Amino acid sequence: MHSHEVIVVGAGGAGLRAAIAAHEEGADVALVTKLHPVRSHTGAAEGGINAALKDEDDWEDHAYDTVKGSDYIGDQDAIEAMTEDAPSEVVRLENMGMAFSRDEDGRMAQRAFGGLSFPRTTYASDKTGHMLLHTLYEQVMKRGITVYDEYYVTRAVKEDGECHGVVAVDIQTGRVEGFQAGATIFATGGVGEVFSHTTNAVSCTGDGMSIAYRAGVPMEDMEFVQFHPTTLPSTGILITEGCRGEGGILYNSEGERFMFERGYAPNDGELASRDVVSRAELTEVEEGRGFEDGCVHLDLTHFGEEKIEERLAQILELARDFEDVDPVTEPIPVKPGQHYIMGGIACDSHGATELPGMYAVGEAACVSVHGANRLGGNALLELVVFGKRSGRHAAENHLTNTSKSAVEDVVAEEQSRVEELKDRSGGEHQSEIRADVQEAMTEHVNVFRSEEGLEEALEIVRDARERYESVNVHDTSDTFNTDLVQALELRSIIDCAEAITLGALERDESRGAHWRYEHQERDDENWLKHTLVYPGDDGPRVEYEDVEIKKYEPKVRSY
Amino acid sequence: MATTQTESEADAATEVGSVELEVFRYVPEEDDEPRFESYTVDAEEGTTVLDALIEIRDTEDASLTVRHSCRMARCGSDALYINGKQRLACNTLVKEVGEPVKVEPLPRFDVIRDLVVDMEGFYDRMEAVEPWFQPSHEPETGEEFLQSPENRKNIDTVLDCIWCGACTSSCSPAGTDDRFKGPAALAKAYRFYKDEREGEEARKNRLRLLEDAHGIYRCHTQFNCTEVCPKGISPTEAIMEMSRDATKQKLAFWRR
């Protein structure tokens, strides 16, 4: 049995930042991750981190851009908290040694990004996430914070309406172990594995959302899933928005710069927000002006090799290695791919959930600052701002009366669940069920959604839940059993897929990344509200909650 | 990749036919000693070694175990010994390495199971070089350190390290001397050593830390690490530069 005042589950950017903040407040804090911190998917973030650093810029403009980007469903108090804190948090990263790219005067460099009224995306070439992740992990090593790596958390311990910690499988040994904690922060990242075409790592399986949900904490706004406009067609690998920020151009097969010429975004063109660009691309393809594999072309050839190597070095490598295309001399074929989920574990702007002792932060959380569509450069920002806030709050307010025996009881229960899973014979293998869910979600719960498609997806997902009841784990060994881990992850995938689809089916309007054939307009009268999906005895129960509106009244959104 | 590739995408790719893989297998509670297992998979033009391993795991043998996550050469989980060389499985094409594709865990690391090795010793080596920023002074709140674009460019050569362990696995001194920090850790040290924001005092301290018998002088300049690094980093050159600087400092001391 392990015991700490604060346990952070997940060691990507949000988890590491939360642990550092808790440690600075004097708490005994530890990280528990199913990977090793430097393997976390934060490392794959490319473009940058937004902050109004320059004298000519203003954090309130950043707030407005974010509210508009969210299609007015982001909570404005949380958005203001994030954008106001942004400059100091980005400087803090610099002070920790993070290797940002530099302007001639030695200050941190910034560039244009989609949906921003000022070029305020602070970057480190096109490896901003990598630099951020490693910098934060360096700070964790410096402080000697305990890291339990390669532990897969399976459940939160809930007793008397409070969270007493978590239970996890030590992947290397197969042992089930308890972690008693006065505050548990879920920083477990996104849900890419719910879909078949995604920029996300295979580790992004929505575990934290599912675990919190099963402890009675709702998933919020799960229907808002971001499909990034520029991913490689064969693998889903991300091609950063920084390409367009630096002046990259999107063409259709008729050689038109369609974002302007076809009127999708007459002012901002390629730098409209992601939901707008993804819809435009798929419209072009559907109307017969796309390329092979449902792609459009992203052209960087006018940059010259030197500029690409300096500012977009990773893109050069990725396009060459994974698509066999050389961006210096030819356009990159791109198409929309699942990239991010705006929704997540419902929490306040300190990361606190409805369940005392349980927190959420980062992509796993829904504060909500991204509403119906996240702006590029705001995800890394969310990690550090709310990482700090949640870590600090958890350190100051953690419970002191947690029960060791409550944790031990759940260890025993999870131990028998794992044993039972491994002892089964018959039933389908987890990989088959997983693939069916992923394909259905990609086909029906994508950029364009119809009632019929959503209903079909929901049926497939619910069927998958039934099939999961007899899922078969072939590998019965204890040492590093990834077959078992994947079977456990599949339940998280199914939970998240159901919440996403259900939320999408209920919301009969189009807002941000959520677009419905039958209801192509935004409907503020009925839908200016957050979706909350709670677990119920007969499956999920949907409730709604008002959006926090301060000074920005909803208006028509165009780019 | 294989788990996330839809059928229509697979159809569009060019077939290169069936490919044979010989994969190192070892499950401690089941096998007395390691063995090689042969598998055949259908490969396409863009099929990577990781794709092939996932295909085997998902359709043929669920017990085959390999660490992997981002599938885009960023997380550094899947450095393996493929046809006699340390490479990342996710960015190595099946067609580029020749048949049969022999897949083994990283040499000079203890095997936990199948292709999964014990990384703890590697992480300890990384930590031993104090790999965190040690600035010359505490900045005022809200004040950023300035850094010239040229200096930033100097450290760019090593910043891309993904801690995959390929270099350390290829390094013979690292294989024989547990206390030798090895190429990855020394390249990490170089990242700070060259960062002008740390200042002269920190630079000297870093050199002192790296100068012992298990530090920079242990490097045999064989360039194995440089040859295998999947991110194009040259730890050897970084180590050589620090060794030269350390020697110069000593000479300067004796000349005084």
Q: Tell me which CATH code domain A423-523 carries.
A: 1.20.58.100
Sheet holding B85-88, edge to edge: B35-44, B15-25, B101-104, B79-82, B85-88
Q: Which of A419-433, B12-26, B44-58, B215-229 has the lowest mean pLDDT?
A: B12-26
In this prediction, residue A342 carries a pLDDT of 98
Q: Mean pLDDT of all residues in chain A?
A: 97
Q: Are B188 and A97 in contact (CB under 8 A)?
A: no
Which of A274, A392, A467, A516 does the annotation list as catalytic?
A: A274
Q: What is the 3-state secondary structure (H, E, C) of B154-215?
A: HHHHHHCCCCCCHHHHHCHHHHHCCCCCHHHHHHHHHHHHCCHHHHHHHHHHHHHHHCCCCC
In this prediction, residue B213 carries a pLDDT of 83
What distance in Å separates the CA atoms of residue A242 and residue A269, rounded to the nearest whole number?
14
What distance in Å separates the CA atoms of residue A124 and residue A47, rounded to the nearest whole number?
8
% of chain A surpassing 90 pLDDT = 99
Nearest-by-Cβ selection for A127 from B4, B28, B160: B160
Beta carbons of B4 and A236 less than 8 Å apart: yes
ipTM attached to this prediction: 0.95
The 10 Å Cβ neighbour count of residue A126 is 29
Beta carbons of B46 and A321 less than 8 Å apart: no
Q: Mean pLDDT of all residues in chain B?
A: 92
Closest CA of chain B from A42, distance in Å: 9
Q: Per the structure block, which two tokens stand in for B168?
A: 């350390």
| pLDDT tens-place string over residues B18-63 | 999 999 999 999 999 999 999 999 999 899 999 999 999 999 999 9
Q: Which chain B residue lies closest to A432 (C-alpha atoms)?
A: B58
What distance in Å separates the CA atoms of residue B2 and residue A284, rounded to the nearest whole number?
28
In this prediction, residue A275 carries a pLDDT of 96
| Mean pLDDT in residue range A42-53 | 97
Nearest to residue B6, comparing CAs of A437, A331, A427, A459? A437
Nearest-by-Cβ selection for B144 from A44, A91, A139: A91
Nearest to residue A270, comparing CAs of A38, A397, A112, A151? A112
A378-397 burial: b if 16+ Cβ within 10 Å, else e: bbbbbbbbbbbbbbbbbbee
Nearest to residue A191, comparing CAs of A230, A225, A214, A232? A225
For B220, the 3-state DSSP assignment is coil
Q: Are A41 and A370 in contact (CB under 8 A)?
A: no
For residue B14, pLDDT over 90 is answered with no
Instruction: Name A46's bridge partners.
Output: none
> Alpha-carbon dihedral of residues A354, A360, A365, A368, nearest 10 degrees?
60
Nearest to residue A486, comparing CAs of A442, A437, A429? A429
Q: Tokens 């391993």, residue?
A: B53
The upper half-sphere exposure of residue A8, i.e. CA atoms within 13 Å in the direction of its Cβ, equals: 37
B254 falls in which pLDDT band (50, 70, 90)? confident
For A552, the 3-state DSSP assignment is coil
| pLDDT tens-place string over residues B106-146 | 999 999 999 999 999 999 999 999 999 999 898 988 899 99
Spatial neighbors of A243 by CB under 8 A, at least 6 apart, are A230, A298, A300, A312, A315
Nearest to residue A430, comparing CAs of A497, A385, A492, A479? A492
| pLDDT tens-place string over residues A510-520 | 999 999 999 99
What distance in Å separates the CA atoms of residue A379 and residue A114, rounded to the nearest whole number?
13
What distance in Å separates the CA atoms of residue A195 and residue B110, rounded to the nearest whole number?
35
Nearest-by-Cβ selection for A95 from B59, B62, B139: B139
What distance in Å separates the CA atoms of residue B175 and residue A50, rounded to the nearest whole number?
44
In this prediction, residue A156 carries a pLDDT of 98
Class of the CATH domain delimited by A231-336: alpha beta
Q: Per the structure block, which two tokens stand in for A426?
A: 């018959």
| Mean pLDDT in residue range A511-532 | 97
Q: What is the 3-state secondary structure (H, E, C) of A484-509?
A: HHHHHHHHHHHHHHHHHHHHHHHCCC
B157 falls in which pLDDT band (50, 70, 90)? confident
% of chain B surpassing 90 pLDDT = 83
Nearest to residue A63, comparing CAs of A49, A77, A48, A45? A77
A contact test, residue of B74, B111, B117 with most A CBs within 10 A: B74
In this prediction, residue A46 carries a pLDDT of 93
| pLDDT tens-place string over residues B72-83 | 999 999 999 999
B9 falls in which pLDDT band (50, 70, 90)? very low
| pLDDT tens-place string over residues A292-337 | 999 999 999 999 999 999 899 999 999 999 999 999 999 999 999 9
| pLDDT tens-place string over residues A232-272 | 999 999 999 999 999 999 999 999 999 999 999 999 999 99
Q: Are A121 and A245 in contact (CB under 8 A)?
A: yes
What distance in Å separates the CA atoms of residue A521 and residue A529, rounded to the nearest whole number?
15
- B101 phi/psi in degrees, rounded to 5: -85, 110
With contacts defined as CB-CB under 8 Å, which chain B residues touch A35?
Answer: 69, 75, 77
Domains of chain B: 2-117 (3.10.20.30), 120-255 (1.10.1060.10)
The 10 Å Cβ neighbour count of residue B18 is 10
**CATH topology assigned to domain A2-224+342-406:** FAD/NAD(P)-binding domain (3.50.50)
| pLDDT tens-place string over residues A534-547 | 999 999 999 999 99
Report how far apart the first and last C-alpha atoms of chain B are (Å, whole number).
61
Domain ranges of chain A: 2-224+342-406, 231-336, 423-523
What distance in Å separates the CA atoms of residue A378 and residue A342, rounded to the nearest whole number?
11
What distance in Å separates the CA atoms of residue B61 and residue A483, rounded to the nearest whole number?
10
Beta carbons of B163 and A107 less than 8 Å apart: no
Q: Is A63 exposed, middle or buried (0-12, 13-18, 19+ CB in 10 A)?
A: buried
Beta carbons of A237 and B72 less than 8 Å apart: yes
What distance in Å separates the CA atoms of residue A314 and residue A195, rounded to the nearest whole number?
24
A422 falls in which pLDDT band (50, 70, 90)? very high
Write the CA distances from A373 to A111, A224, A552, integer angstroms.
20, 7, 16
**Eight-class DSSP state of A389:** H
| Mean pLDDT in residue range A330-359 | 98
With contacts defined as CB-CB under 8 Å, which chain B residues touch A122?
Answer: none
A274 is a catalytic site residue: yes
Nearest-by-Cβ selection for A197 from B4, B141, B155: B4
With contacts defined as CB-CB under 8 Å, which chain A residues touch B141?
Answer: 88
With contacts defined as CB-CB under 8 Å, which chain B residues touch A131?
Answer: 159
Where does A88-191 show beta strands of DSSP type E? Answer: 110-111, 121-122, 146-149, 151-159, 162-170, 176-186
What distance in Å separates the CA atoms of residue A135 and residue B191, rounded to the nearest whole number?
12
For residue B7, pLDDT over 70 is answered with no
For residue B10, pLDDT over 50 is answered with no
For B148, the 3-state DSSP assignment is coil
Q: Are A267 and A276 in contact (CB under 8 A)?
A: no
In this prediction, residue B4 carries a pLDDT of 37
| pLDDT tens-place string over residues A86-98 | 999 999 999 999 9
What distance in Å separates the CA atoms of residue A389 and residue A371, rounded to the nearest whole number?
20
| pLDDT tens-place string over residues A199-237 | 999 999 999 999 999 999 999 999 999 999 999 999 999
For residue A197, pLDDT over 70 is answered with yes
